[in-house]
Amino acid sequence: MVKARDKNTFDTIKRKDTLIAIPRTIHRSAHGVTLIEGTPVKVICSVEGRAQQAGMFSISGAESKTPDKQGGLIEVTPIQILCNEWHGDIYTLIYYEGDWYDMDGAPTIRHHGTSMAQGIELRARRILASDFAIMKRPAPVVTEESEVWGD
């Protein structure tokens, strides 16, 4: 016999992982556009890997996969994040399990469905795999003063 889960069980599903989000702001100058990183923040959420149907190095099957057409192959390793609270935007940088991710679109608020499905959903794309990187970027340091999203 399967027992119905209570709301606390649903909350623990969205609280099984922790990542670090680094909000970034745009700075425009005569020399171009740069992103300035803010204070790293710990985020309590649920992270799931997603596979691209067209393959690891392409977003769409219709894309040309030849290096001369797109300037080289670009890895596509997306993750889906579900959390109760998110203060970032499309420029937020994400650090999760040793790898670095960029936001892939804007966060989406899920109002409908079960209490487990409600919350904020966002997708991110890996930009640096620490295992394969020649130049390592260290993990961000979260201080005690910084707030925790989703806590």
pLDDT of residue 147: 66
| Residue 89 contacts residue 21 (beta carbons within 8 Å) | no
- Tell me the average confidence (pLDDT) per consecutive run of 10 residues in the chain, 151 residues long: 41 75 93 92 86 51 50 67 86 91 88 74 85 78 70 59
| Residue 98 contacts residue 126 (beta carbons within 8 Å) | no
pTM over 0.75: no
Residues in the chain: 151
Structure tokens, 102 = 């960029």
